[in-house]
Structure 1
Amino acid sequence: MTDNPDPQGAAPQQPQVQMRVLGQFIRDMSFENVMAQKGGRSEGQPDINVQVNLDGKKRGADHQYEVAIKLTITSKAKDSGDSLFLMEIDYGGVFHIEGIPDEQLHPFLMIECPRILFPFLRRIVSDVTRDGGYPPLNLDNIDFVALYRQEIARRQAAAQAQAAEAPTQ
C-alpha cells in the first residue's frame, strides 16, 4: 500500500497557461520636429532620452487584459543642447490570459506582455523618426524585469516613507 492517493502516481498538474494577443493599437502618438519648425538643421550626434511607463488593467470580458507601453523620447543636439524632436507614444495590446495564479498575474502583465508588444513599438518609433527627417531611431531592448523590480522598490520605499511620516497615537 502506498501513501500516494493518485493511483497513477502522477503529480497534480498545474493549470496550462494560455495567452493570446487579441489586438494591438496606438492609443495616442505625437511627433514634434522642433528643429524643422525653427528652420534649422541638426549637425552632430543627438542626445536621446527615453522614458518608459507601463500600465495594465483588467477588461470587462473574462480573462482579458489591456497593457500599454508609454514612451516619451526627447532628442537634443549634444553640442548646443537645442531640441531636435519630441515623440510621445502610447501603444497598447489586448491579451487573453488564463492559467496564471493571481499572485503572478501582475508581474506577467508588466513583464511578459510588454516583451511581446515591444518589437512592434520599436518599428513604429523607427519609421516615425525616419519619416520625420532623422536617422531611424532603433531603440535598445528594454529590460522589463529590471523595470518591474525598480517600480516595486520605488513603491515599497514610498510606503515606508509614508508610514514613517504617519503620526503615532
Structure 2
Amino acid sequence: MAENENGAAAAQPQPVKMQILAQFIRDMSFENIVAQKGVQGDVKPDIQVKVNLDAKKRSADNQYDVITKLEITSKNKENGDPLFLLSLDYGGVFHVENVPQEQIHAYLMIECPRMLFPYLRRIVSDITRDGGFPPLNLDNIDFVALYRSEVERRLEAERANQPVS
C-alpha cells in the first residue's frame, strides 16, 4: 500500500465494478407496411435509425436502469413509401460501483448501452428477418459521440433560455 507524505496509508482508487443484473424488452412494435398494403415489385430500402438513451437510479444501492430506445424506419428509395417501422426500448439493470459521482451519468450513458448493444443488434436482426425482410445488422453505435452531442444540445438549449442582460 502506498504512503502519503505524513506516513499514513493512502487510499488506492478502487477498480470500477459493473455487472448486468437483467436485460429486458420494455416495449417493442414492428409494423410491416409492405405486408399490410401488399407492395409489389423491387424495393430499394433506405433505412434510418434514431437512438435515444435513458438512465435512472433504482432504489437498491448502486443499481441503475439503462434503456436504449431505437426508432428504425425503412422507406423505398425510389418513391419514399414506407416498408417497415421498428420501435424498440431495450433495457438493462446494472450494478455499478466505484465510479465517481461526477462521472456516473456519462458512464451509464456510454458504457452500459455499449454492453447491451450486441443483444440489441441480435433482436433487431431477428425481428426484421422474421418480419419477412433481410436481417438488419445495425452498425456499431458510437455512444461517446451520442453522449457528447446530447450534452452539447442541452448546453445550447440552456443558452437559448437564458435571459438577455
Q: What range describes the TM-score normalised by the shorter chain of this pair?
A: over 0.9
- SS in structure 2 at match of 1:137: coil
Q: What is aligned with 1:6?
A: 7
Q: What is aligned with 1:77?
A: 76
After superposition, give the CA deviation of every residue in 1:115-163 in whole Å (9 maximum; x if it has no partner).
Answer: 0001100000000000000000000000000000000000000000000
1:11 is displaced (CA, Å) by: 5.5
After superposition, give the CA deviation of every residue in 1:47-90 in whole Å (9 maximum; x if it has no partner).
Answer: 00000000000001111000000000000000111100000000
Q: Tell me whether 1:123 sits opposite 2:122 in the alignment.
A: yes
- SS in structure 2 at match of 1:43: coil
Q: What is aligned with 1:111?
A: 110
Q: What is aligned with 1:88?
A: 87
2:91 alignment partner AA: G
Greater radius of gyration (CA)? 1
Q: For residues 92 and 62 of structure 1, what CA distance do their matches in structure 2 show?
A: 18
2:47–2:74 contact (8 Å) kept in structure 1: yes
1:16 is displaced (CA, Å) by: 2.5
TM-score, structure 1 normalization? 0.91
TM-score, structure 2 normalization? 0.93
Judging changes above 3 Å, is the alpha-carbon distance between structure 1 residues 81 and 120 closer, same or farther for their aligned structure 2 residues?
Answer: same
Q: How big is the alpha-carbon RMSD for the aligned residues of Structure 1 and Structure 2?
A: 1.7
- SS in structure 2 at match of 1:133: coil
2:122 alignment partner AA: R
Alignment length (residue pairs)? 163
Q: What is aligned with 1:151?
A: 150
Judging changes above 3 Å, is the alpha-carbon distance between structure 1 residues 48 and 42 closer, same or farther for their aligned structure 2 residues?
Answer: farther
Q: For residues 3 and 115 of structure 1, what CA distance do their matches in structure 2 show?
A: 37
1:72 alignment partner AA: E
**4+ runs of 1 displaced by more than 6 Å?**
none
2:48–2:73 contact (8 Å) kept in structure 1: yes
After superposition, give the CA deviation of every residue in 1:10-63 in whole Å (9 maximum; x if it has no partner).
Answer: 754112211100000000000000011001136232000000000000001111
Range with bigger deviation, 32-41 or 82-91: 32-41
